[in-house]
Amino acid sequence: MWRRRGWRAFARHDDEGILDDQGTLHDDTNMLTGAIIAGVVFGLYYTLVGLGLNLVFGVMRIVNLAHGDFLMLGGIAAWFLFTSLGLHPLVSAGLVVVVFVLIGLPIYYLVVPRLLRSRDSEMLSLILFFGVSQMIEAVTTIGLGSTERSLPPRLLGVGPVILFGTRLPKAWIFSAIASAVAVLLVYLYLYRTRLGTLTRAVMVSRDEALATGIDVNFVSAVAFGISLALAGVAGVFAPFILGSITPNMGVAINITAFAVIVVGTLGNPLGTLLGGIIYGVSLMLMQTYLSSWANLLPNLLLIAVLLVRPEGIFGRKVRRA
């Protein structure tokens, strides 16, 4: 109670707080509970956003700064498929998975092996994929213009779903389910398939995997394709979660996705689940109690984790999947 009143006092001091002096303890509790429930569901979407980025880092030790732009392209694809062919976004999501995996393979062979032969591939990947990101944004802006695009809310159902007394949009539930399915599939891929076992071997040591005769490039190319597919699927849901898509949204998505995977442990795709939920809950709590500062959250989380636990929440024990 004291703590909650303390937050309120701070907010009021900042002249941006809730001004209702009749707010009861019951109201505060509802708001807190609502923020946490909404945060968990919303965070699952950000798990989907960060999952592919972490997979690529885990397997190749490179940072794909164009990840957010591939997400944007997934959204554009869903918008295009709906407006031109009338395809439902859930159908588009399936198509996007296939197409983005297929796009990912040649991009991998064109870019990544050369990158990995360089002295400092992690640093160079930042520069190279930043360039790719800028190119994608510029080409999309030239081709489609800069304004917002979206899909009709009715496609995933209008009206709320009430979860433990908290009203949530139906689209959040769909995206949370999609994210849960994606996490499950990535888990099954990594732990229940031969290619997944080889992928984990590459994650442990690329050189040793190469020495044992594993086709490291093929394994990595598939992982890269899966990563783009995950970004693409997240993009399909973006109009419903973020309101709309614009060609320039990639950078902001990247910053958030990066915070999510650092919190959940870099290089550990499944740690992204925890990172996403922590981000989601933190964001909703910030929106509830200190809304003006909510956009600082990704950076605050990054700084906090890097200072307190640089190896991420899961740490070294599970870092290499």
Binding region for another protein (CB under 8 A): 11, 15-20, 23, 27, 30-31, 34-35, 38-39, 42, 137, 141, 144-150, 152-154, 158-160, 166-172, 240-244, 246-248, 252, 284, 287-288, 291-295
Residue among 145 and 315 whose Cβ is closer to another protein: 145
Q: Cβ 141 to another protein, closest distance in Å?
A: 5
Q: Cβ 312 to another protein, closest distance in Å?
A: 25
Residue among 158 and 195 whose Cβ is closer to another protein: 158
H/E stretch holding 166 reads: strand 166-169
Residue among 154 and 194 whose Cβ is closer to another protein: 154
Spatial distance between the Cα atoms of 80 and 86, rounded to a whole number of angstroms? 9
Residue among 31 and 81 whose Cβ is closer to another protein: 31
247-250's contacts with Cβ under 8 Å and 24+ in sequence apart are 247/72, 247/137, 247/140, 247/141, 247/144, 247/146, 248/137, 248/141, 248/146, 249/68, 249/71, 249/72, 250/66, 250/67, 250/68, 250/69, 250/71, 250/72, 250/133, 250/136, 250/137
Cβ neighbourhood burial of 258 (10 Å; 0-12, 13-18, 19+): buried
Spatial distance between the Cα atoms of 221 and 196, rounded to a whole number of angstroms? 12
Residue among 24 and 119 whose Cβ is closer to another protein: 24
Going by C-alpha positions, the residue among 52, 104, 43 that lies closest to residue 269 is 52
Specify which residues 168 forms β-bridges with.
161
Spatial distance between the Cα atoms of 67 and 129, rounded to a whole number of angstroms? 9
Q: Cβ 197 to another protein, closest distance in Å?
A: 38
Residue among 152 and 310 whose Cβ is closer to another protein: 152
Q: Cβ 160 to another protein, closest distance in Å?
A: 4
Do 172 and 160 touch, CB atoms closer than 8 A?
no
Q: Cβ 120 to another protein, closest distance in Å?
A: 28
Residue among 15 and 120 whose Cβ is closer to another protein: 15
Q: Cβ 269 to another protein, closest distance in Å?
A: 25
Q: Cβ 42 to another protein, closest distance in Å?
A: 7
